[in-house]
Structure 1
Amino acid sequence: MALLVVDELDESSVRLLRRLQRSSSTRTGVVAGRFDQDALQVAVDCGVAAVVRRAEADQDRLVNAVVAVAKGEAVLPGDLLGTLLDHVGRLQRSVLDPDAPTLSTLTAREADMLRLVSEGFDTSEIAVKMSFSERTVKNVLHEVTTRLHLRNRAHAVGYVMRHGLI
């Protein structure tokens, strides 16, 4: 295992990480003074198995990181783990189904109306609840079903729920 201690991931430290990565048997950890989302991407690209921020690098944390890496595990601060998982999820969705609907597929008004439909509200109840005319509610729901090539409101609700849009 190699442990690289740096203020930040600059060009020279990235070159070193890439050399270590080419050595197939070397697992690498990084202790860095500054480590942000861009550094996370570089670290992942370089095959880094553990990241510890210098400010959090006490004896126990360093020992735990080294032991985890030796076992084949990965170590990341919680906020970076969340960032990494979000990034992986976005990549996976874009690769598996780049045309899949996203939250930007629906406006807030459309999502709210479909949520109310899914809760069993009819057109007049939705109109009152959202302070729109019944005609507006019908037009908005018709626009969604037409734009997404759906057959009716039930199909629209099922579609947006399956895709996690409401």
Structure 2
Amino acid sequence: MTTTIRVVLADDHAVVRRGLAGLLESTDDLEVVGLAKDGSEAVELVREHRPDVAVMDLQMPVVDGVAATRAIVDEQLGTEVLVLTSFSDHARIDAAIEAGAVGYLLKDAEPEALLDGIRAVARGESPLDPRAARRLLSRAARPGDVTATADTAALSPREAEVLRLVVEGLLNKQIAGRLGITERTVKAHLTSAYQRIGVADRTQAALWVQRNGLDARGD
């Protein structure tokens, strides 16, 4: 039996909101439970409906998407935030990740990429658009974000390969297809890699790769 993923959509453009809602409602497993035209409404709708995922634009009036993301995360409402924004929002993308967004996609992505991204977030993954991921990796590293030592960096060749594909922005399903392994095996490799390099999620892993490179020693 398919589990329905409940979603709140936040965007200040009515046409975009309605278009996204129509796209999500055309599927069997995604349900739109609220539409918000600004960050303040987004937070209120998340408080009311406790959806699985909030799809958040960043540049909105009243309260922007960064502040709304921070409020949702800080209140521990059980909702994960997926940023959907334009590529020009570099500073806001960085700020949204710092505020607790678990992934981000760009508005010119293919519709199926957005649907898969929402599903990935609901599964506990962190979808990253490849272009936006490169932006994240190119920003100046701040001390203390992610740490690694020679002992924790001994990745196996397969773990290193999986991490490289994460940095490219591929989801677990796509990585499995690329490598000819199961999605469950991908998750196992990621869990092991995160433990080895001392990170908790895809974003931290991507930053670690940028700062430290990939050490394929080990298995």
TM-score range with shorter-chain normalisation? 0.3 to 0.5
Indicate the structure (1 or 2) with the bigger Cα radius of gyration: 1
TM-score by length of 2: 0.36
TM-score by length of 1: 0.46
